[in-house]
Amino acid sequence: MSRKNDPTPKDVDELSMSHKETNGSEPRVHELVQSMSRTRDPRCNAEKNTYGELINPRPGTLRHAMIQKEPLWIIFDRNMIITLQQELIMQGDKTIDGRGARVDIAYGAGITIQFVSNVIIHDLRVHHIVPKEGGMIRDSIDHFGFRTRSDGDGISLFGAQNVWIDHVSMTNATDGLIDAIEGSTGVTISNTHFTDHNETLLFGASESATHDDKMQITVAFNHFGKRLVQRMPRCRFGYFHVVNNDYTQWKMYAIGGSSHPTIISQGNRYIANNTFATQVTHRAARTPESEKQSTN
């Protein structure tokens, strides 16, 4: 089935990472005709919370596409709301491209990018993400295993490399909208709209996670909008470039850090629209004076 305004091969080169540089092959275009099982709402696709659906996902679904080992550029043939009954686990070398359709990941589990590289998430709406109890989930065509309870993050990066999250709309997750931990690096979050959340972006899990010192993350050209509270982002260890973002509302602070991260805040616009938004930058409690430097 064809789709109007299909991107040209040049657009694929612009959007997708160069697979010729990583593994010598171009990504195959993989179009999703259906996402999950149909419900009464023709736009809504609720994944069945059954052993078979999670262990042997059906061809044509997003979960089936994401466990393939080959490079894939995944597009959608129609508008759909995808409700995940368990977190979406993936293999590397994947582009999820929502252009040309409205694609929502909503009202269920979120997306997990764990120990894989070369992933692009583009033009999705991720919202109302909730924890799930865990269970047996397939993560590749030749392996499945037990997953513990998920936290309810919108997008979780765990030891991931070379990840681009671009033109995504994110709101209302139980935990973070985007968490990057366990040494995730080579990450760019750009042109994304964030609203209605407390702990927005977390880079670095804890003060003891010293392996996060290799993190390199860029946060660029994003809009931090209505009813946000804090962590835009919250950084530990690592190197972070926060550049050309628009902050139009926050209740506690915009950018925070501890455990001696290097944060370059450059060309951002901050509009404090309430009397409680007293801090643009925040040094977390117990940060030694020797680690505090002025913000440029």
Active site residues: 231
Bridge partners for 114 per DSSP = 158
For residue 275, what are the CA distances in angstroms to 129, 224, 246? 30, 18, 19
DSSP state of 47: P
Nearest to 171 by CA among 145, 198, 196: 196
Taking a C-beta distance cutoff of 8 angstroms, is the pair 67, 89 a contact? yes
Count of other CB atoms within 10 angstroms of residue 293? 10
**Those residues with Cβ within 8 angstroms of residue 62's Cβ, 6 or more apart along the chain or in another chain:** 32, 35, 36, 74, 82, 88, 96
Name the one residue in this structure whose structure tokens are 């993560």: 139
